[in-house]
Amino acid sequence: SKAYQLIEWQQPPELRDVDIREPGPGEVLIKVGGTGACRTDLNLMGLPAGVMPYALPFTLGHETAGWVEALGAGVTGLERGEPVLVYGPWGCGRCISCRQGAENHCERVSELRSHGGGVGRDGGMAHYLLVPSSRLLVPLGALDPRDAAPLTDAALTPYHAIKQALPRLVPGSTAVVIGAGGLGQMALQLLSVLSPSRVIAVDASPEKLARARELGVQDAVLSNEHAAGHLRELTHGRGAEFVMDLVGTHDTLALAAGALRPRGQLTLVGISGGVLPFHFFALPLECQVVAPYWGTLPELVEVLALAEAGRLRMTVERFPLERVAEAYQHLRDGTLKGRAVITP
């Protein structure tokens, strides 16, 4: 069996032969249906040694769905062949955050030296994925794991971010999404489903803006030197209550800050190392800035409910495991229509 592993920092990952381990007590072996390729993986591959506390090698892929293949001793409530989503942030399972289902905020993360499968431990870019506990699995119902995998990050992360902003998103308000890629296409739909806000998509690629329009977004703004003025115009000079930056460069942060209205919220999700200068007049008065991380288990169940109701469309491009490097290259080049999902 094969797995796409990060073997050395700043070196291209490799597709390698790996052994499949039988699930130990409490563990569940998943036959991978699909695993999404996330831009965070590209960041990860490019990091120098010592930045992340992860032991190498490990298998990439933190956005996975599949079928239960084998149950470790003591695991109940799951059946072989059952389709499941794999909740990605793997915490200690015992701290208060984990008990609240917020393993993305596990208090023991530094002891664990990993953030989950595919981010420090073996993930889903493989034929099989060993999940440490059945608490991390969500029954998938009728959805196909190959299409549903992006729910666990591309949809869950913006869902978690948008939920925190919902009280601001009243009738007459405006929400701006910068970056209409894998996460952004989900963010745009989630805003439309969850709020009465007017939703505006911003992207540097005309193809991504066309896709945003297909997903029902009325206003699409090309990210260039005119974007700030264009956003001002669209909001009648007032600015937006909510701006979500899914890119996170200096330029997009400046665009986001400039698009806010007083008391607005800037939510930074994109991890590109851009810096937002902060001083009293850096943002309109009384704005808030938040950088949310992934999402909680209950939120994943909520996202799944939206998908099951047909209210979230996933633009999935499938790649067999042998072509995983090609999928990442398309992601790097910006030539994907939506999310690349590796289907071993």
Task: Kindly list the residues in this chain that would bind Zn ion in the complex (CB under 5 A).
Answer: 38, 40, 91-92, 95, 98, 106, 108, 153
CB of 72 or CB of 91, closer to ligand NAD: 91
Q: Is 240 helix (H, G, I), strand (E, B) or coil?
A: strand
Please tell me whether residue 152 binds ligand NAD under the rule CB under 6 A.
Answer: no
In the set 35, 59, 152, 157, which binds ligand NAD (CB under 6 A)?
157
CB of 180 to ligand NAD, least distance (A): 5
Nearer to ligand NAD, 40 or 134 (CB): 40
Minimum CB separation from ligand NAD for residue 12, in Å?
Answer: 18
Cα–Cα distance, 251 to 248 (Å, whole number)? 8
Give the span between the Cα atoms of 109 and 89, in whole angstroms.
Answer: 10
Q: Closest CB to ligand NAD among 67 and 293?
A: 293
Summary count for the chain: helices (H), strands (E): 11, 18
Surface-to-core class of residue 295, CB atoms within 10 Å of its CB (0-12 exposed, 13-18 middle, 19+ buried): buried
Other Cβ atoms within 10 Å of 205 Cβ, number: 15
Q: Shortest Cβ contact with ligand NAD: which residue?
A: 181
237 touches 259 (CB < 8 A): no
Q: Quick one: what does residue 293 bind among ligand NAD, Zn ion, none, with the CB cut-off 5 to 8 Å set by partner type?
A: ligand NAD
Q: Distance between CA atoms of 317 and 315, rounded to whole angstroms?
A: 7
Q: Is 274 helix (H, G, I), strand (E, B) or coil?
A: coil
- 20: DSSP letter: P
Give the residue with the Cβ less far from Zn ion, 232 or 293: 293
Nearer to Zn ion, 40 or 185 (CB): 40
Binding mask 284-323 for ligand NAD (x = CB under 6 A): ---------xx-----------------------------
Which tokens sit at 178?
């910068």
Please give the residues from 163 up to 192 whose contact with ligand NAD meets the rule CB under 6 A: 178-184
Query: Quick one: which of 45, 95, 271, 301 contacts ligand NAD (CB under 6 A)?
Result: 271
| φ, ψ of residue 310 in degrees (nearest 5) | 75, 20
Q: Integer distance in angstroms from the first to the last C-alpha of the chain?
A: 10
Residue 99, both tokens: 């008990």
Binding site for ligand NAD (CB under 6 A): 38-40, 43, 153, 157, 178-184, 202-205, 208, 223, 246-249, 251-252, 269-272, 293-294, 331, 334
